[in-house]
Amino acid sequence: MRESRLQLFLLVLAALFYPITERWLAPWQVTVDWPFLLLFWIAFRRGRVAGCFYGLLLGLLRDLADFSQLGATALSFTLGGWLLGTLREKVDRENLGVRLLLLAVVYLLVQAVFLFVRTGWSPGAAFLAWLRYALPGSVLSAAGYLASLLLAAFLREGLGLLREPLERR
């Protein structure tokens, strides 16, 4: 599987604009978790050590950015990065359906850990929040990842078409 640098650039850009997209989707109480998508891309490409490191880094940055409980997102993203890095060797990485399913399942697990810590270790409240926020968020995050793949392919092909007439001369 050969991921493009353009897709990485788009995911980093989207992660930087995460607070803006979060506020835009706030009336529906769902959001595309761009930092998680960036973690998914890194862990799925580089493995479990990089997944843990970048999961901790992205989680701490996200905790500091929204003034939440320090460490809740860092813990869940570190576990998610480790899980994604471990599973990347066991699944067919070329199959887009497998990648999207893995993204959704690991996102749901990461959100379960995050909400369990965030609700004060209350299983009932965490489960209700997980049903309300994590399930729609997993679908939107998978759609966001798919959109970044399609946009990267479109831009790569579009830029290739722009260079083609120059190469014929």
Tens of pLDDT, residues 106-143: 999 999 999 888 888 888 888 988 888 888 888 888 88
The residues near 104 (Cβ < 8 Å, ≥ 6 apart) are 138, 139, 141, 142
Are 104 and 142 in contact, with CB atoms under 8 Å apart?
yes
pLDDT (average), residues 149-153: 82
Per-residue pLDDT of 9-40, as tens digits, reads 777 777 777 777 777 776 766 677 888 888 99
Q: How far apart are CA 102 and CA 92, in angstroms?
A: 11
Residue 43 buriedness (CB in 10 A; 0-12 / 13-18 / 19+): buried
Q: Encode burial over 149-158: b for 16+ CB neighbours within 10 A, e otherwise.
A: beebeeeeee
pLDDT of residue 160: 64
Residue of 30, 4, 47, 18 lying closest to 148 (CA atoms): 4
The residues near 99 (Cβ < 8 Å, ≥ 6 apart) are 44, 91, 93, 145
Are 81 and 60 in contact, with CB atoms under 8 Å apart?
no
The two tokens of residue 8 are 């990485």
Q: What is the pTM of this model?
A: 0.80
Are 117 and 72 in contact, with CB atoms under 8 Å apart?
yes
Answer left, alpha or beta for residue 139, where phi above 0 means left and psi between -120 and 50 means alpha: alpha
Comparison of pLDDT for 158 and 71, the residue scoring more:
71
CA dihedral 156, 92, 147, 40 (to 10 degrees): -100
